[in-house]
Amino acid sequence: MFMPMSPEIWTPGHALLMFVMWAVMMAAMMLPSAFPMILFYAMVDRNRRVKSGQSSGPRTSVFAGGYLICWLAFSLFAVTLQYALKKATLLSRMMETTSVILAAAIFVAAGIYQFTPLKQACLRNCRSPLDFVVNHWREGRLGALIMGIEHGIYCTGCCWMLMLLLFVGGVMNLAWISGIAILILVEKFMPLGHWIGKAAGIVLILWGIGVFIGRLQLPS
């Protein structure tokens, strides 16, 4: 995978390239964790159409498209944040923060978010395709799109703070990308995934505190 380094001066073409990079990266990271939900939706939709005698249609792809719309929106947010950090000289050409304080703050904020009611509510909806379908089912292609967007909102609400860790380890760092994607998969699919997520939150908080203390101990 090739990801271009961030130049000193952004052009509209580079901004578009960064948006495409984020969009592709978010799709690659998040679609694997969304496949069970997409497949379950396809099964339920197919069974309902067979029973009612309706013709087949691309509703599953519409559902998946709605899901991706949310991550496209997050990609736009990420590019905007990347540009702001670059303007503030807080981001290197390798797209990782140059501020130890900011890095520590992101670690701690991501760790605390793992315990918030919003995170837990979004995670519950992401972990159970059956509950989501029962509580959010809508008929037709428009309904599929709305359901996809709703599921995407829950998924984005569950994972967006973890994605900001890419600004710490480096947006081009494949080890960080893989690590975050694996943590998301574990949270969603492991039987004790929500507890593992909270354990990860504790690790992130301690990591951030360690980074901050290490900065204070550096010689002036």
Mean pLDDT of 134-138: 90
107 in Cβ contact with 165 (< 8 Å):
yes
Residues in the chain: 220
Task: Tell me what pLDDT residue 1 has.
Answer: 46
Q: What is the pLDDT of residues 83-110, one digit of tens each?
A: 999 989 898 887 889 999 999 999 999 9
Task: Tell me what pLDDT residue 8 has.
Answer: 61
Mean pLDDT of 71-77: 96
Task: Tell me what pLDDT residue 39 has.
Answer: 92
Helix segments in the chain, DSSP class H: 12-52, 59-87, 100-113, 117-127, 129-136, 140-163, 166-169, 174-189, 193-216
Contacts of 48 (CB under 8 A, 6+ apart): 54
Q: What is the pTM of this model?
A: 0.87
74-78, 89-93, 202-206: lowest mean pLDDT where?
89-93
Q: CA-CA distance, 74 to 72, in Å (whole number)?
A: 5
115 in Cβ contact with 109 (< 8 Å):
no
